[in-house]
Amino acid sequence: MNFFSKLFGGKKPQNNSSNTQASQNKSADNYSDWQKKEQERQAALAENVKAPIIQHISKNGIFKFTIEAGNDEAFLHFEASTEKTEEDEQELYDIEEYLIDVLDIPSAGEFSMTGEGSLFMKNNKVYCEYKTIYKELLDYDEENDKEIYSDETEERYETELFPL
Protein backbone atom coordinates (compact mmCIF):
# COMPACT_ATOMS: atom_id res chain seq x y z
CA MET A 1 0.00 0.00 0.00
CA ASN A 2 1.46 3.35 -0.95
CA PHE A 3 1.69 6.45 1.21
CA PHE A 4 -1.46 8.17 -0.16
CA SER A 5 -3.57 5.07 0.19
CA LYS A 6 -2.59 4.82 3.84
CA LEU A 7 -3.22 8.55 4.31
CA PHE A 8 -6.72 8.44 2.85
CA GLY A 9 -7.75 5.08 4.26
CA GLY A 10 -6.80 2.88 1.32
CA LYS A 11 -10.41 2.59 0.15
CA LYS A 12 -11.34 2.46 -3.47
CA PRO A 13 -13.69 5.19 -4.69
CA GLN A 14 -17.33 4.13 -4.51
CA ASN A 15 -20.03 4.78 -7.03
CA ASN A 16 -22.02 7.60 -5.43
CA SER A 17 -24.73 7.93 -8.09
CA SER A 18 -27.37 6.38 -5.81
CA ASN A 19 -26.24 8.67 -2.96
CA THR A 20 -26.42 11.69 -5.26
CA GLN A 21 -29.94 10.74 -6.42
CA ALA A 22 -31.07 10.20 -2.82
CA SER A 23 -29.62 13.59 -1.84
CA GLN A 24 -31.40 15.30 -4.73
CA ASN A 25 -34.69 13.63 -3.81
CA LYS A 26 -34.27 14.71 -0.17
CA SER A 27 -33.55 18.29 -1.29
CA ALA A 28 -36.68 18.31 -3.44
CA ASP A 29 -38.72 16.91 -0.53
CA ASN A 30 -37.27 19.53 1.82
CA TYR A 31 -38.17 22.29 -0.66
CA SER A 32 -41.70 20.90 -1.05
CA ASP A 33 -42.08 20.74 2.73
CA TRP A 34 -40.79 24.31 3.08
CA GLN A 35 -43.11 25.50 0.31
CA LYS A 36 -46.11 23.84 1.96
CA LYS A 37 -45.26 25.34 5.37
CA GLU A 38 -44.77 28.77 3.77
CA GLN A 39 -48.18 28.58 2.07
CA GLU A 40 -49.78 27.56 5.38
CA ARG A 41 -48.02 30.46 7.15
CA GLN A 42 -49.20 32.94 4.52
CA ALA A 43 -52.78 31.64 4.65
CA ALA A 44 -52.85 31.93 8.46
CA LEU A 45 -51.34 35.41 8.29
CA ALA A 46 -53.94 36.47 5.71
CA GLU A 47 -56.75 35.31 8.00
CA ASN A 48 -55.22 37.17 10.96
CA VAL A 49 -54.92 40.52 9.15
CA LYS A 50 -58.26 40.69 7.34
CA ALA A 51 -60.24 42.06 10.29
CA PRO A 52 -57.64 44.69 11.32
CA ILE A 53 -57.26 45.87 7.71
CA ILE A 54 -61.03 46.20 7.31
CA GLN A 55 -61.23 48.01 10.66
CA HIS A 56 -58.53 50.55 9.67
CA ILE A 57 -60.15 51.19 6.28
CA SER A 58 -63.65 51.50 7.78
CA LYS A 59 -62.40 54.00 10.33
CA ASN A 60 -60.43 56.24 7.93
CA GLY A 61 -61.73 55.47 4.42
CA ILE A 62 -58.26 54.38 3.31
CA PHE A 63 -55.19 52.97 5.03
CA LYS A 64 -51.98 54.66 3.81
CA PHE A 65 -48.44 53.33 3.96
CA THR A 66 -44.95 54.03 2.64
CA ILE A 67 -42.41 51.52 1.34
CA GLU A 68 -38.69 51.42 2.06
CA ALA A 69 -36.78 48.44 0.70
CA GLY A 70 -33.25 47.61 -0.31
CA ASN A 71 -29.96 46.24 0.92
CA ASP A 72 -31.56 43.07 2.29
CA GLU A 73 -34.43 44.77 4.13
CA ALA A 74 -38.05 45.72 3.44
CA PHE A 75 -40.26 47.92 5.60
CA LEU A 76 -43.73 49.38 5.37
CA HIS A 77 -44.66 52.34 7.55
CA PHE A 78 -48.33 52.99 8.23
CA GLU A 79 -50.00 56.32 8.77
CA ALA A 80 -51.32 56.37 12.32
CA SER A 81 -54.41 58.35 13.22
CA THR A 82 -54.08 57.72 16.97
CA GLU A 83 -51.51 56.66 19.56
CA LYS A 84 -50.51 53.01 19.07
CA THR A 85 -50.80 50.33 21.73
CA GLU A 86 -48.70 47.16 21.89
CA GLU A 87 -51.60 45.27 20.31
CA ASP A 88 -51.73 47.83 17.49
CA GLU A 89 -47.99 47.41 16.95
CA GLN A 90 -48.37 43.62 16.56
CA GLU A 91 -51.29 44.07 14.14
CA LEU A 92 -49.26 46.53 12.06
CA TYR A 93 -46.28 44.17 12.05
CA ASP A 94 -48.54 41.32 10.81
CA ILE A 95 -50.08 43.58 8.15
CA GLU A 96 -46.59 44.67 7.08
CA GLU A 97 -45.44 41.05 6.77
CA TYR A 98 -48.61 40.12 4.86
CA LEU A 99 -48.31 42.99 2.38
CA ILE A 100 -44.59 42.41 1.76
CA ASP A 101 -45.45 38.78 0.89
CA VAL A 102 -48.56 39.49 -1.18
CA LEU A 103 -47.15 42.48 -3.06
CA ASP A 104 -43.85 40.65 -3.55
CA ILE A 105 -41.78 43.56 -2.30
CA PRO A 106 -38.15 42.48 -2.64
CA SER A 107 -35.89 42.43 0.39
CA ALA A 108 -32.74 40.76 -0.92
CA GLY A 109 -30.17 42.37 -3.16
CA GLU A 110 -28.37 45.61 -3.74
CA PHE A 111 -31.05 48.08 -4.80
CA SER A 112 -33.19 50.87 -3.44
CA MET A 113 -36.99 50.93 -3.57
CA THR A 114 -39.24 53.60 -2.14
CA GLY A 115 -42.92 54.09 -2.60
CA GLU A 116 -46.31 54.75 -1.16
CA GLY A 117 -49.67 53.13 -1.27
CA SER A 118 -53.07 52.73 0.27
CA LEU A 119 -55.55 50.02 1.08
CA PHE A 120 -59.20 50.68 0.25
CA MET A 121 -62.54 48.95 -0.29
CA LYS A 122 -64.32 48.80 -3.62
CA ASN A 123 -67.10 46.48 -4.83
CA ASN A 124 -67.02 44.39 -1.61
CA LYS A 125 -63.30 43.71 -1.96
CA VAL A 126 -60.15 45.11 -0.38
CA TYR A 127 -57.59 46.50 -2.80
CA CYS A 128 -54.08 47.84 -2.56
CA GLU A 129 -52.98 50.64 -4.85
CA TYR A 130 -49.30 51.57 -4.71
CA LYS A 131 -46.42 53.01 -6.67
CA THR A 132 -42.74 52.24 -6.33
CA ILE A 133 -39.50 53.85 -7.46
CA TYR A 134 -36.77 51.28 -8.01
CA LYS A 135 -33.03 51.90 -8.46
CA GLU A 136 -30.42 49.17 -8.83
CA LEU A 137 -27.01 49.61 -7.22
CA LEU A 138 -24.49 49.54 -10.06
CA ASP A 139 -21.22 50.41 -8.39
CA TYR A 140 -19.62 52.14 -5.46
CA ASP A 141 -17.44 55.24 -5.76
CA GLU A 142 -14.84 54.64 -3.06
CA GLU A 143 -13.15 57.98 -3.67
CA ASN A 144 -16.31 59.96 -2.86
CA ASP A 145 -17.86 57.31 -0.58
CA LYS A 146 -21.10 57.23 -2.63
CA GLU A 147 -23.26 54.54 -4.13
CA ILE A 148 -23.89 54.72 -7.88
CA TYR A 149 -27.44 53.73 -8.83
CA SER A 150 -29.16 53.01 -12.15
CA ASP A 151 -31.86 55.25 -13.55
CA GLU A 152 -35.09 55.18 -11.58
CA THR A 153 -37.92 52.92 -12.68
CA GLU A 154 -41.37 53.99 -11.51
CA GLU A 155 -44.25 51.52 -11.52
CA ARG A 156 -47.87 51.68 -10.38
CA TYR A 157 -50.02 48.75 -9.30
CA GLU A 158 -53.53 47.97 -8.14
CA THR A 159 -54.00 44.55 -6.59
CA GLU A 160 -57.07 42.85 -5.17
CA LEU A 161 -56.18 41.49 -1.74
CA PHE A 162 -59.34 39.67 -0.62
CA PRO A 163 -63.14 39.78 -0.77
CA LEU A 164 -65.17 41.10 2.18
Express each pLDDT in 100-148 by its tens digit. 999 999 988 888 999 999 999 999 999 999 999 999 888 888 999 888 8
* Cα–Cα distance for residue pair 99/65, rounded to 1 Å: 10
Q: What is the pLDDT of residue 73?
A: 93
Pick 28 or 91 by higher pLDDT.
91
CA distances to 8, 49, 80, 86, 87 from 83, rounded to whole Å, are: 68, 20, 7, 10, 11
Is residue 119 in some structural domain?
yes
Helix (H, G, I), strand (E, B) or coil at 8: coil
How much is the pTM?
Answer: 0.76
pLDDT in tens, 54-90: 999 999 899 999 999 998 899 999 987 666 788 889 9
Q: What is the pLDDT of residue 64?
A: 96
Q: Does residue 8 have a pLDDT over 90?
A: no
Is residue 93 in some structural domain?
yes
List helix spans (H) across 61-103.
86-102
Is residue 89 in some structural domain?
yes
Is residue 35 in some structural domain?
no
- CA-wise closest residue to 105 among 140, 138, 65, 137: 65
Angle of helix 86-102 relative to helix 17-60, nearest 10 degrees, comes to 120
Is residue 24 in some structural domain?
no
Q: What is the pLDDT of residue 79?
A: 85
CA distances to 17, 51, 114, 146, 148 from 141, rounded to whole Å, are: 48, 48, 22, 5, 7
Q: What is the pLDDT of residue 85?
A: 81
25 residue type, one letter: N
Is residue 147 in some structural domain?
yes
Q: Does residue 51 have a pLDDT over 80?
A: yes
Pairing mode, strands 146-149 and 74-78: unpaired
Q: What is the pLDDT of residue 30?
A: 86
Query: Which structural domain range is residue 64 located in?
Result: 50-163
Is residue 27 in some structural domain?
no
pLDDT in tens, 11-31: 555 555 566 666 667 777 888
* Cα–Cα distance for residue pair 88/62, rounded to 1 Å: 17
Is residue 135 in some structural domain?
yes
Counted domains in the chain: 1
